[in-house]
Amino acid sequence: MNLISINPANNKKINSYQEISKDSINQIIDSSFNTFLEWRNKSFSYRAKKMRYLAELLKQKKEQLGLLMTKEMGKPIKQSIAEAEKCAWVCEYYADNAEKFLSQKEIPTGSTKSFISFQPIGIVLAIMPWNFPFWQVFRFASPALMAGNVGILKHASNVQGCAIEIEKLFLEAGFPKFAFNNLVIGSKKVSNVIKNSKISAVTLTGSTPAGKSVASLAGSLLKKTVLELGGNDPYVILEDADLDNAVKSCIAGRMLNAGQSCIAAKRFIVVQSSLKEFIDKVHNEIKKMKMGDPINPDINIGPMVNNIARDELHQQVIISIEKGAKLLFGGKIPQLDGAFYPPTLLVDVEPGMPAFDDELFGPVAVVISAKDQSHAIELANKTNFGLGAAIFTRDLDKGENIATKELEAGSCFVNDFVKSDPRLPFGGIKESGYGRELSEFGIQEFVNIKSVVIQ
């Protein structure tokens, strides 16, 4: 079977990649395990030197890597270049901080000596999506390898060019040949990889059904998992919000990567006193957005990943309108080559509509009316997901309290759109998954937290 890469801007084939055999998979896993036995004993300074060089390569090649991302999955070129730069940042962050995060911690117990030691666990299998084809990989790989683990990647089938290039970058930076490897396989072969006794843990970023499937299999084998799944992020706009800032943040959070992000701003929940002005401002901003060839630096909305995803999104919009939502802008498939869907604005959205209940993975802004602050928070939490959330208010104490105590999500931002940052833990609750990536907490997910007591 071949894995096909298609440019979503014109639906033309870029390349095809021959899926590797079961024997080849097992040989890579065996070699990775042997590499782990040596890599785990390398010093943090040794690993950090490689990781810093990797960061430099990412910065040096950012335009080339950005173009590859844009061609394979369609994001605007400026966003692709910024993604390469962010990958360099996470490499530098763990090169600088891994030793501190995993340093031995003395714990007084009355014994002669007692401490906590953090030891690598082996091969971490990463099952990664197409929407951030470099960032999703590096945010797992940087901490995993700095901790002394090795990584094996099963990337999305349509971004195998990115996956192969990432593997090359690790080799060029001086990492051992089997410290990081990409498996050119489709999803049907993943279960056998997870079942391999030399795989110690699995991290997955993707849909909730995919996460449940992987977690079920890995759990039956008692293998640790970290899952970052879907989201239906609410952005709550209170009556005292700075509406210009709220609109700017909401549009940025919704339209980045053509809305194809787990932490995109999926639902704008606005108290009634600010509703009309907010809708007018959002409408004006959406009308200014330019859709087209993502290689053009003036374009801010590229194609969706493929026609299937585009058509599924359109159906969600149509059904929401049939159930009473009002279409103010967009909502029509353009007569263009490629998987394009225009920036779209839906208002009068209520529970029971796909635009409220489901994750809309595309450039559709959804506005929901709330009677007051309490009702707005109730609507925000009325979802099975819990990845990100935002609150907009000029009262920072009130915003902090709502973000901390009332919104049900793994990340809550006040007066800004939700984004990942190497310095902060990232992950969700409810059907958005469990475990954390990034920060000190992320690097400690795939280590043996070992207690040592000397009497």
| Residues designated catalytic | 228, 262
Question: Rounded to whole angstroms, how far apart are CA atoms 208 and 189?
Answer: 19
Question: Rounded to whole angstroms, how far apart are CA atoms 41 and 435?
Answer: 26
Q: Which residue has the tokens 């009355």?
A: 110
First to last CA, the chain: 59
Question: Rounded to whole angstroms, how far apart are CA atoms 197 and 221?
Answer: 9
Residue 202's nearest CA partner among 452, 387, 408, 435 is: 435
The DSSP-derived string for 279-294 is HHHHHHHHHH--BS-T
HSE-CB at 304 with a 13 A cutoff on CA atoms is 24
Q: Are 431 and 408 in contact (CB under 8 A)?
A: no
Question: Rounded to whole angstroms, how far apart are CA atoms 316 and 230?
Answer: 16
Q: Are 267 and 316 in contact (CB under 8 A)?
A: no
Task: Name the DSSP class of 350.
Answer: -
Q: Are 297 and 376 in contact (CB under 8 A)?
A: no
Helix (H) or strand (E) holding 329: strand 326-329
Question: Rounded to whole angstroms, how far apart are CA atoms 346 and 283?
Answer: 10
Question: Rounded to whole angstroms, how far apart are CA atoms 127 and 139?
Answer: 12
Residues 6+ apart with CB under 8 A from 33: 122, 123, 150, 198
Q: Given strand 224-228, what is the order of strands in its sheet?
A: 180-182, 150-154, 123-127, 199-205, 224-228, 433-434
The DSSP-derived string for 93-130 is HHHHHHHHHTS-EE---SSSEEEEEEEE-SEEEEE--S
Residues 6+ apart with CB under 8 A from 14: 5, 6, 7, 71, 72, 161
Task: Name the DSSP class of 430.
Answer: G
Q: Are 185 and 20 in contact (CB under 8 A)?
A: yes
Residues 6+ apart with CB under 8 A from 392: 235, 236, 237, 238, 241, 242, 245, 246, 249, 399, 414, 415
